Structure 1
Amino acid sequence: MSFSFSELDFMKPELGAEYTGTGTHFAVYSAHAEQIDLCLFSDDGKKEMARMPLPKREGDIWSGYIAGLKPGTVYGYRASGPYDPKNGHRFNPNKLLLDPYAKQVVGDLTWDDALYGYTIGKDDLSFDERDSAPFMVKGVVQDPDFDWDGDEAIRRPWTETLIYETHVRGMTMTHPKVPDRLRGTFLGMCSDPIIDHLTKLGVSAVELLPIQFFPNDRYLEEKHLTNYWGYQTLGFFAPQSRYMSSDRITEFKTMVRKFHASGIEVIMDVVYNHTAEGSEKGPTLSFRGLDNASYYILSPDDPRHTFDTTGTGNTLNVANPMVMRMVLDSLRYWVGAMHIDGFRFDLASTLGRQDMEFDRQGIFFSAIRQDPMLAGVKLIAEPWDVGEGGYQVGGFPHPFREWNDKFRDDVRRFWKGDAGQVSEMAERVTGSALQFNHSDRGSTSSINLLSAHDGFTLMDTVSFNGKHNEANGEDNRDGHSDNHSDNMGVEGATGDADINDARRRRRRNMMATLLLSQGVPMILAGDEVGNSQGGNNNAYCQDNEIGWIDWSGLDDPFLTFCQKMIAFRKAQPELRQERFLTGETAEDGRIEIAWYKPDGDFMDDGAWNDNELRVLSVYVSRSVLASDAEKMDGLFMVFNAGGDCEVTLPGVNGIKTWQRVVDTGADDPFTVFDPENPVMVYRESIAVFAPKGASVPPKNATRTERQRWFHFGRRNS
């Protein structure tokens, strides 16, 4: 079959390979190329059937239209231009290049020296003439039609959001009820057993680790390991092919549709800060060969080298308008064509860098905020990178929410019994106002987490004092060493009943803290069933039993505890407020928050600064500014990281009598009973009380004093 570009070529606004119904239009960006060749391949991708220069260039967009060319066509590009590494140019037409806009990727990337633009064994100024096509993945022209059956985005309010961070393979590979043929796939992820588990647990959104196309890293393959997490994106528009049970990307759309039908939003973890090509010594797979000097930030002192703020060898140059367009087009594609509900941006500080420094008013944030399609979806930042000034927790603009590692660390320290943690714990329970209460941001700005894919699982936090990453092949040097963990007496799994009981209690306390705190809770998949990674806190390369969830804990009482604790949170609007609680007082004297010492007196300077105090008691009600502020019954919560403690229940907002509704130290934590006053709150436990009745507001404190008591905790954090 012969191929040729139509003489009636026309310029479409879309980049990539777009099927028009009568043919396919190809368009790709390169500012410095001298020629771009479209290469068409046999269906299996092994034989190059045609190579044709794109005939049209308008600005820096190269394009061409082939009438009659249908979906399913396998293709790639080759780019000719200056090979001048010292000035940042690395064009090499011997290297087949993946279309940055490819909607599907086929084939396996087979690591070979031919994939590099320079000659391995020589420096990166050399030029390699071998053809990389036999070893390279290719793009596939797609038909955009799909029956969404009325599916629409859910757009659940942040105050009603509970995120479940998970991995497509890790979630499904060992689940006993997922069919073998679907394990590790999008269809397995949305299978009935998985959706049943998530709906019973009560989560409102799944946050999927990277599912955009990524290859295996060469150095991992040489160590017989795998790029499991996927933070090495090569195709920003294509679903990861290893997660499909067939050659149809409609499987991804089916997954999204099934989650939506179950009331669950789908959030994607996306990596737009770097690509899989690595440093200047990495392979030439796509962006480097199309226009290295445009797609990447190069060293201002020596353009031969990439500028790296990500720790992966390169940094995507979103300051370039066409690279920014690619990122935005990708985001719009996943929202518009794939019905995604939101994104979590990996190392998001990199995206906010201008002139090498972070700028919260930068062009990336401005572009998203003005985009009518993107401004309404959930946007979550990992608010740091590895560059200078990269740690930016609290520094992102609305509507971004941010992962709050301070919550993780301070909650771990408090329950571990570290000294002087009461004021820090107070800050975390109320939404980390010091970080987020500015620029009209709300308390849902904080994504609260106990654990995430990167670090110890919840079970490992209470089972290991140190990391155990030997299986990663780096002599246990990789991964964080400061985990604020405590093995409770034995390193790793044990048959000691007392230690296991102590670990269960601490896990209850930490999970309850997460679900009793202002902000948006995020649970790591498997924490609810006691999943352990054997102390490996950096399982990025462990596509095996270390990285997969162990579902043997499905009958564990801790799963039931998590289900009931989530249901409790959903039933208590006091725990899910949009506004920060600042100690305001209603006109009739009612207060929205107050902190207490165990004896019933308000917290004072001495208590906030008492390094030996292990008990934090707080009354939380509706914000006096809330639309339904008259419903200010509230909750009284006691977080006791010390020994048995007698606590006086307060008289506040007219409440005279209380009933205990949660006790993490009880055999049945949710048995409701009427306590004596004062009440015994047992060692290392949380007790939550709800009012039984009300009379008149307290008159023993002025508005100024109430606000001052609240701010003691914040000022000393």
Structure 2
Amino acid sequence: MPHTGPVPHTGPVHHTGPVTHTGPGATAGAAPPAPPPPVWPGSPTPLGARHRTGPDGVAGTNFALWAGGAEAVEVCLFDPDGTETRVPLTELTHEIWHGFVPGVRPGRRYGYRVHGRWDPWTGARWNPAKLLLDPYARAVDGDFDRLPPEVYGHVRDWPDQHVADTVRDDRDSAPYVPKGVVVHEAEPGDEWADDRRPKTPWADSVIYELHVRGFTMRHPGVPEELRGTYAGLAHPAAVEHLVRLGVTAVELLPVHQFAHEDHLLRRGLRNHWGYNSIGYFAPHAAYAATGTGGQQVGEFRRMVRALHEAGIEVILDVVYNHTAEAGELGPMLSLRGVDNRGYYRLQHDARRYADYTGCGNTLHVVQPQVLRLITDSLRYWVTEMGVDGFRFDLAAALARSMHDVDMLSPFLAVIAQDPVLRRVKLIAEPWDVGSGGYQVGAFPPLWTEWNDRYRDAVRDFWRGALPDVRDLGYRLSGSSDLYAWGGRRPYASVNFVTAHDGFTLRDLVSYERKHNEANGEDNRDGTDDNRSWNCGAEGETGDEAVNALRRRQIRNLLTTLLLSTGVPMLVAGDEMGRTQGGNNNAYCQDNETGWVDWSLLEEGWARELLALARRLLALRRAHPVLRRRAFFSGRPQGADGLRDLAWFTAAGEEMTEGDWYAPARTIAFYLSGRDIPGQDERGGAVVDDSFLVVLHAGDGPLEHRLPGPPWAEGYELLVDTSREEQERAPGEVCRGGEAVTVPPRSAQLWRVTE
């Protein structure tokens, strides 16, 4: 019934049957509705809306929804003019409501209304006045660009905030929410075979984190009508940059259908990053150039195919730890109205949500239906959308059993035995915000992890804040202290200096404090632990000495990342000096702040930075010693006593125990190319060049003696970050044992020539 004012509520409200509705404004007391279309029993599997040919050759759509505690379920079909037809699903098999509706074809919009008890004190929040998005919808038409009171299951404007979420709102939400779309299983021309996938080995991988919209919104080579879309990322101009740079995989910020938070919409902002998922099978509709009536599915597939043809894998950043429905004061968009207790972790006081994510709710992955939702989604993106791997946001939340993080949890166990999922790339963000949630180094084999200890050590070294080099040595050589167990390899460590969350590389050397005022939260949001150094001035400056130092520091950080053992991850735009103006939490900046600025390449220093990135990645690709598949042993490899990894002082002598405790100003390490294990196709050893890497963070020049025989008779300088010009290698040649001058705050890469 229409809601005209607050209604006192002291106990549960029961709904015992569906209400047929034939117009956007109709209610239970309206004129007699037209009879609903026929519905056949259909099948409880697969879940979702699947168009097929039914008995007697009749085409239609099978609808199946898990709603364990519901009393009744209606599928609501919408005509182009918005007219709604409600069809009761009367078949119930193993808690799945299902039915086959003849005549429903691809392109038809739909949603669900689920009936049951309203009793928030026990976690029951069914409300059939709210149209719910199918958790298995393959496409979504529309956007959650406004959240009026009608989309909340409770009376949002109830005056007593202590019980605000317990008073049911009976206003219809259908006019205000997007709808699911019945889609074709595959569009013509969208099929592919697995053998077209690049399948880059982990050790050879270089990940490039990018935002589908932000990457192309300002790209001059992408047609304006395609910018910010899947088609834009598939455009040859965008793909060419990735290929020339030399990355092997793109890691896309969330592309599952997501919603915008109410507090952002009220401030005239939008969720730009997309870590607010509401549809785990649907490509985000706003990123489609070809339409949102199901066309986004084919457009996404064509994007994947274009990247695959260029030799680039596609990894999705996925958010299965929470949904856009937030806490008990959040909107009712999908899972909350399907079965609140069945999908979410609730506290002992079942009115409240357990929150290990900082976003108001946490999916209850231990529940079979939730685990099925997640794994069905993952398999869908691999088998039908062509995706090559996943980065799991706040993965520790998925590994919680009852409350504690458990590396034997159902989620991790299912992934390990699944024949589809265990063969794709799996990356954990190995923490959440709950107690005991920091789990870096603890995820089991098959998994790689974002290594924030690498990030912190490298940042601290180059800003002069590292007390000694003990931790840095582990980070540069693959973090064996974290990952050398259970058969894991150096590529278990995804090394990064910057990510979407935090400063860009340029801002890291330009700001010591966050500047998030544009986010509208009084600069309270975002981390204060930036480990940054502004090189003498806060923000943009006309001081050329400061700017020159900043450019050098960017080169230092980039060079360190790409010469470290492990899998490097770059952030889109860092290779050309992108800035966010000091904003270290640009999640709501869908504007020039959050977009890659391609005009930077009109500046000479940015082109030189890009040239350095390309050259370093080419070196990494050409030399197996820079992308090892096994940890260093540190043991002599032959009669001459050479080891696969050795550390040297500025005097050209091997480091002693005491040197590891000395102030961290300089570190040099020798990478032997002799008999590198596990590098050829049969797992045998290969021979490569040997290299010496010198990292000098001191503020004055350093006289550094290059290690002499037996380590090397001669060296060639390949990289020197003190130089502004980076298009070509320096090419200097020195003898082993010779002293060279290392400029202040610079990195050098020497190749052993004999």
TM-score (norm 2): 0.89
Please point out which of 645, 670, 686 is paired with 2:702: 645
> In 2, Cα distance between the equivalents of 1:469 and 1:535?
7
Question: In the alignment, does 2:636 pair up with 1:594?
Answer: no
Please point out which of 716, 732, 735 is paired with 1:659: 716
Aligned counterpart, 1:37: 74
Equivalent pair of 2:405/2:436 in contact (CA under 8 Å) = yes
Please point out which of 346, 352, 365 is paired with 2:393: 346
Aligned counterpart, 1:466: 513
> In 1, Cα distance between the equivalents of 2:120 and 2:439?
34
> In 2, Cα distance between the equivalents of 1:395 and 1:349?
10
CA RMSD between the two structures: 1.6
SS at match of 1:357: coil
Cα offset for 1:12? 4.7
SS at match of 2:50: strand
Cα distance per residue 1:225-249 (max 9 Å; x no partner): 1111111100000010100112312
- The 5 A counterparts of 1:564-643 are 564-586=615-637, 588=639, 589-611=641-663, 613-622=664-673, 625-626=677-678, 627-629=683-685, 631=687, 633-642=689-698, 643=700
Cα distance per residue 1:646-694 (max 9 Å; x no partner): 222224656322222221123445122212512222211111111222x
> Measured at CA, do residues 653 and 440 of structure 1 come closer, stay the same or move farther in structure 2, by a change above 3 Å?
farther
Please point out which of 699, 719, 734 is paired with 1:675: 734
Aligned counterpart, 2:345: 297
Aligned counterpart, 1:4: 37
Structure 2: tracts of 5 or more residues without a match:
1-33, 54-58, 159-163
Cα offset for 1:420? 1.9
- The 5 A counterparts of 1:196-207 are 196-207=240-251
Aligned counterpart, 1:275: 323
Aligned counterpart, 2:534: 487
Equivalent pair of 1:166/1:206 in contact (CA under 8 Å) = yes
SS at match of 2:315: strand
Cα distance per residue 1:567-606 (max 9 Å; x no partner): 1111121110111112133354442111111112211122
Cα offset for 1:495? 1.9
Cα offset for 1:200? 0.9
Cα offset for 1:67? 2.1
> In 2, Cα distance between the equivalents of 1:342 and 1:567?
24
Cα distance per residue 1:128-186 (max 9 Å; x no partner): 11111111111010101232364533221011111110111111111122211111111
> In 1, Cα distance between the equivalents of 2:749 and 2:36?
72
Equivalent pair of 2:143/2:285 in contact (CA under 8 Å) = no
Equivalent pair of 1:407/1:428 in contact (CA under 8 Å) = yes
Cα offset for 1:421? 3.7
Tell me whether 314-323 or 112-121 shows the greater mean CA deviation.
112-121
> In 2, Cα distance between the equivalents of 1:521 and 1:634?
20
- The 5 A counterparts of 1:119-130 are 119-122=155-158, 123-130=164-171
Aligned counterpart, 1:522: 569
Aligned counterpart, 1:175: 219
> In 2, Cα distance between the equivalents of 1:522 and 1:266?
14
- The 5 A counterparts of 1:73-88 are 73-88=108-123
Tell me whether 683-692 or 311-320 shows the greater mean CA deviation.
683-692
> In 2, Cα distance between the equivalents of 1:23 and 1:174?
43
> Measured at CA, do residues 154 and 3 of structure 1 come closer, stay the same or move farther in structure 2, by a change above 3 Å?
farther
Question: In the alignment, does 2:191 pair up with 1:191?
Answer: no
Tell me whether 676-685 or 327-336 shows the greater mean CA deviation.
676-685
Cα offset for 1:358? 0.5
> In 1, Cα distance between the equivalents of 2:638 and 2:552?
41
Question: In the alignment, does 2:296 pair up with 1:237?
Answer: no
Tell me whether 264-273 or 644-653 shows the greater mean CA deviation.
644-653
| Count of aligned residue pairs for this structure pair | 688
Question: In the alignment, does 2:150 pair up with 1:117?
Answer: no
SS at match of 2:734: coil
Aligned counterpart, 1:702: none
> In 1, Cα distance between the equivalents of 2:723 and 2:392?
40
> In 1, Cα distance between the equivalents of 2:684 and 2:533?
42
- The 5 A counterparts of 1:50-449 are 50-109=85-144, 110-122=146-158, 123-146=164-187, 147-148=189-190, 150-151=192-193, 152-245=196-289, 246-247=291-292, 248-249=295-296, 250-299=298-347, 301-449=348-496
> In 2, Cα distance between the equivalents of 1:487 and 1:654?
38
SS at match of 1:358: coil
Equivalent pair of 1:5/1:64 in contact (CA under 8 Å) = no
SS at match of 1:23: strand
Cα offset for 1:351? 0.2
SS at match of 1:199: helix
Cα distance per residue 1:585-636 (max 9 Å; x no partner): 335444211111111221112211112x411011112465445546154211
> In 2, Cα distance between the equivalents of 1:26 and 1:421?
62
Equivalent pair of 1:586/1:624 in contact (CA under 8 Å) = no
> Measured at CA, do residues 667 and 624 of structure 1 come closer, stay the same or move farther in structure 2, by a change above 3 Å?
same
Equivalent pairs: percent with the same residue?
Answer: 46
> In 2, Cα distance between the equivalents of 1:200 and 1:294?
48
Cα offset for 1:512? 0.4
Structure 1: tracts of 5 or more residues without a match:
694-717
> In 1, Cα distance between the equivalents of 2:174 and 2:192?
41
Equivalent pair of 2:677/2:686 in contact (CA under 8 Å) = no
Aligned counterpart, 2:587: 540
TM-score (norm 1): 0.94
Aligned counterpart, 2:27: none
Cα offset for 1:191? 1.2
Give 2:91's aligned amino acid: K
Equivalent pair of 1:633/1:653 in contact (CA under 8 Å) = no
> Measured at CA, do residues 326 and 663 of structure 1 come closer, stay the same or move farther in structure 2, by a change above 3 Å?
same
Cα offset for 1:47? 2.0
Cα offset for 1:439? 1.5
Equivalent pair of 1:3/1:66 in contact (CA under 8 Å) = no
Cα distance per residue 1:168-211 (max 9 Å; x no partner): 11111111222111111111111121111111111111111011
Cα offset for 1:498? 1.1
